[in-house]
Copies of this chain bind each other. A is one copy, B any other.
Amino acid sequence: MSLRYAKRMDNIKASEIRELLKLTQKPEVISFAGGLPAPELFPVEELKKVSLKVSDEQGTAALQYGPTEGYEPLREQITKRMEKIGVKAKPENILVTSGSQQGLDFSAKIFINPGDIILCESPSYMGAINAFKAYEPKFIGVPTDEDGMIMEELEDILKNNDRVRFIYVIPDFQNPSGRTWSIERRKRLIELANEYNIAIVEDNPYGELRFEGEYYPSVKHYDTEGRVIFLGTFSKIFCPGLRLGWVYAEKEVLNKYVLAKQGSDLQSSTISQMQIAKFLEEYDIEKHIEKLKEVYKNRRDIMINTMKEEFPEEVKFTNPQGGLFTWVVLPEYMNARDLAVKALEKNVAFVPGGSFFPNGGNENTLRLNYSNMDEEKIKIGIKRLADAIKDMMKETQKA
């Protein structure tokens, strides 16, 4: 038997990260591969308490179908998160989704005909690239530097391509690069999107995890015409296991997302929405986020400092001011996929960077996560990785 699948399925491959994660679950492996938050910081006891309350107070309603748009008190709570990043939000502009990943899938579903163009940062989040690919777009990766997308390059691309449907950006502590856009670039992005009538999909899972320096308002904050669709999530500031995120958009645009949600899974879990709403009412999530930032900051420091001490000089890396990731660039003659195999022999794992480029190339790059391992393990793991890099350099020189 050989069934005939849709053409789009030719584009979709297993996520390299999720396949790799399976290999790295052995306890002896120090993994910098996933984007996993630190489980020891999850508010297990608090969630247990609010779950009891939800069962006692909301009983059967918590187990019944609810509105596609989401549980009203949760939508109200989400407006507070939006305020923190400079957006005066109304609950009616919010759709609760199953993680921000679902917002990514819907964005392509809503905007992309086969052959339409998506612009993204180069590199960009591989989970977004994979989600988008199901809708058969073309990708153009816009070159980036320390301050985000380079606006002259973006303008040039917009001028020469009339099938661009949206620009996908992660302006804060980007996955995978760890970089943050300057305010000037955020403003210019809006100007260009207005001029060329393009939607912007702003993905912001890490924005609240800033370790130092001042918060920048989100791109949505600068949106003058309602063309920014903002994707948020509780995965990194609370926990990923509940699978709850949100889309914030103008009503006209949000209505399309609501329709996509109806077809995809009707609604997100009623009881989980009630639990997280209750948590946000009864506990101080700001305090929880402070704790996360403190721990992650220390882990970043250890990782960056150990890399400075142990990595050969030719290896470059970013020093993110927040979020979960740093980005490593090896000398051009090195291949990070080969390095990953060697590293795994030394029981240390990371994600090769090539998959973060929708059109390939850049095989000398890799992404490191520092949120999921404790400081001791980060130190040991980076040393192992440094050894693997040095071994590979020697072999190349011999050859």
Contact residues of A with B, CB < 8 Å? Answer: 1-9, 12-15, 18, 22, 34, 36-37, 39-40, 42, 44-45, 47-48, 51-52, 55-56, 59-68, 97-99, 101-102, 105, 109-113, 116, 127, 130-131, 133-135, 165, 197, 199, 225-227, 239-243, 250, 253, 256, 258-260, 262-272
B-chain residues with CB within 8 Å of residue A241 when the two chains form the complex: 62-66, 269-271
Report copies per complex.
2
- Report which of B36, B197, B265 forms a contact with A102, defined as CB distance below 8 A: B265
A265 to chain B: which residues have CB within 8 Å? 97-99, 101-102, 105, 243, 265
Assess whether A111 is in contact with B259, with CB atoms less than 8 Å apart: no
Contact across chains for B63 and A240 when beta carbons are under 8 A apart: yes
Partner of A6, one of B55, B113, B243, B269: B113
The complex places the Cα of A259 from the Cα of B18 at a distance, in Å, of 11
CB distance from A337 to the nearest CB of B (A): 20
| Bound CA–CA A44/B59 (angstroms) | 6
- Whole-angstrom distance between the Cβ of A89 and the nearest chain B Cβ: 18
Chain B residues closer than 8 Å to A48, beta-carbon distance: 51-52, 55-56
When distances are taken between beta carbons in the complex, the residues of chain B under 8 Å from A5 are 110-111, 256
CB distance from A319 to the nearest CB of B (A): 26
A253 — nearest CB in chain B belongs to which residue?
Answer: B3
Asked if A266 contacts B111 (CB within 8 A), the reply is: no
User: Of residues A110, A250, A266, which shows the largest number of chain B Cβ atoms within 10 Å of its Cβ?
Assistant: A266
Bound Cα distance A292, B256 (Å): 37
Q: A313 to nearest B CB, angstroms?
A: 36
Closest Cβ neighbor of A108 among chain B residues: B6
Task: Indicate whether A109 sits within 8 Å of B130 (C-beta atoms), given known contacts A99-B265, A270-B241.
Answer: no
Cβ of B111 and Cβ of A4 under 8 Å apart? yes
With A9-B256, A271-B272 given, name 17 new contacts (CB 8 A): A1-B227, A3-B197, A3-B253, A14-B262, A39-B60, A42-B60, A44-B59, A63-B240, A98-B268, A99-B265, A101-B263, A105-B263, A130-B263, A134-B263, A241-B270, A242-B270, A269-B269
Query: Contact at A4–B64, with CB atoms within 8 Å?
Result: no
Q: Which residues of B contact A101 (CB under 8 A)?
A: 263-266
**In the complex, which residues of chain B have a beta carbon less than 8 angstroms from the beta carbon of A240?**
63-65, 270
A102: chain B residues within 8 A (beta carbon) = 264-265
Shortest beta-carbon distance from A14 to chain B in Å? 6
Question: Is B269 within 8 A of A242, CB to CB?
Answer: yes
Q: Is the CB of A99 within 8 A of B40?
A: no
A selection of 23 A-B contacts at a CB cut-off of 8 Å is A2-B197, A3-B111, A4-B111, A4-B197, A6-B165, A7-B113, A12-B260, A34-B65, A39-B60, A42-B59, A42-B64, A44-B59, A48-B56, A63-B241, A65-B240, A65-B241, A105-B264, A131-B264, A134-B263, A241-B270, A243-B267, A243-B269, A272-B272
